[in-house]
Amino acid sequence: MLNDTTNNYLKACEDWRLKFIAMDKQQLMEKLPELKSEEDYLTLKLFGRKFGVHSQTGEIVTVEDFKPVSIVSQLNIFTLFGFVKPGAQFKDKWVPFRELNGAAPFTTAFEKHVLEPFAETFTGQIEKLSCACEILGGVKLSHSDVGYCLNSFDCIPINFLFWDGDDEFPAQGNILYDLSATDFIHVESTVSLAIEGIERLAEVAQVDIKGPLFHM
């Protein structure tokens, strides 16, 4: 069990684990229909990877192999559970990060530590990025050189848009959210979801992350 209180993220994870233990699980499943009860776990997918949250202990594992789960994935899962609002629904209104509720103060950091690394990582890698998006179940979009809608959680789809560079202009990336995203999760967690998405795409594409991507 996590017990390193000198690390803020580890401590936050432990705090959330304890909050989860006390949650009404049936009520949580009503707010998040994608949650499934499977034996001792509540299960859900995050960027195509299936996780299980033990109903009694709050331990999070990967369902396929029961391996340890990264801190960022754990925090994304726990903050989804903690911040989803009753009646939250997809609105089909796509906006850049800065237009999400409460996002404005984080816009500069998002551009520097999320969008720029996304563009740098996949410069000259259009085919690999496209294949990775397909493998993760993305739905192809018509705009940009490579554009796909990927489910982070089923309730929070995210559009990843990429334009490759040339001799005159560097590559560019953009990430769009449905306006409902902050009805499901804290605005700061929309940032970590984008980061996790980029890391998953790079992992599947077998390319190295480039640029100042924020890491937990």
Of the three residues 83, 102, 117, the one that is the final residue of a domain is: 83
Of the three residues 83, 103, 118, the one that is the final residue of a domain is: 83
Q: Are residues 31 and 128 in the same domain?
A: no
Whether 214 shows a pLDDT value over 90: the answer reads no
Whether 60 shows a pLDDT value over 80: the answer reads yes
**Domain holding 196: CATH number?**
3.30.310
Looking at residue 207, its pLDDT comes to 98
**What's the chain's average pLDDT?**
94
- The token pair that represents 110 in the structure block: 């998002």
Of the three residues 83, 108, 123, the one that is the final residue of a domain is: 83
Number of domain units in the chain: 2
Write out pLDDT tens, residues 139-184.
Answer: 999 889 999 999 999 999 999 999 999 888 999 999 999 999 999 9
Write out pLDDT tens, residues 70-112.
Answer: 999 999 999 999 999 999 999 999 999 999 999 999 999 999 9
Q: Are residues 128 and 189 in the same domain?
A: yes
CA–CA distance, 46 with 40 (Å, rounded to integer):
19
Question: 1 lies in a domain?
Answer: no
Looking at residue 4, its pLDDT comes to 41
Write out pLDDT tens, residues 7-54.
Answer: 898 999 999 999 999 999 999 999 999 999 999 999 999 999 999 999
- Domain boundaries, position 169: 94-205
Question: 210 lies in a domain?
Answer: no
Question: 78 lies in a domain?
Answer: yes
Q: Are residues 35 and 125 in the same domain?
A: no
The three-point CA angle 92-94-95 to 5° equals 150
Question: 147 lies in a domain?
Answer: yes
